[in-house]
Amino acid sequence: MGLKSLVEDRIATHKANEKLIPPDLIQGDKVTHSQPAIIPAGNYLEGVGAAAGKATGTARLINHPGEGNKLQPGEVLVTPSTDPGWTPLFLKACAVIMETGGYISHGAIIAREYGIPTVINVPGVMKVIQDGQIVTVDGDEGRVILQ
C-alpha cells in the first residue's frame, strides 16, 4: 500500500468514526448508550437545570468548538458536551443545552459563572432539536421548550 492509499484510507476511516455515537458508559465489555430524548405532550425536553434563568433564541447545533463560527451572538448553544476549548462560545450564547454533563461539569460551571441559563443531561437533544429552531431554555426548571 502506497502512502497516498494509506492517507486516503485513514481519511475515510476518520470520517466514518466521526459518525459514530459514543457510548455514555463503558464497563468491561458492556457498552451503554442513553435513550433518545422523548418529547412529552407539553412539547418540551427534560434535563437538569445547571444554571438559573430563562432565555429564548435560535438553536445552533455545534458538535466541535471548531464550528463555533456558526454560533451568532444571542443564539442558543446546543452541544454534546463541553471542555475548556468551548469557553469562548459561551461569550456569544444566550443559553446552553448539553446532551451530557453534571452540576460540576465544565459547561455547568462556566454557565453559572457567566450567568447563562443552561440545561444539561438532555439525552438525544442533538437529534431532536433542529439547527435554527427557536427554543426556550429554562435553567430553573431544567426544561427546553420547543417552538
Candidates 57, 70, 45; CA nearest to 116 is 57
- Annotation marks residue 14 as catalytic: no
DSSP state of 141: T
Active-site entry in 14, 33, 64, 106:
106
User: Which set of grid coordinates corresponds to residue 122?
Assistant: 438532555
What single DSSP character describes residue 43? S
Length of the chain as a residue count: 147
Cβ-in-10-Å burial (0-12, 13-18, 19+) of 58 comes to middle
Where in the sequence numbering do the catalytic residues fall? Answer: 106
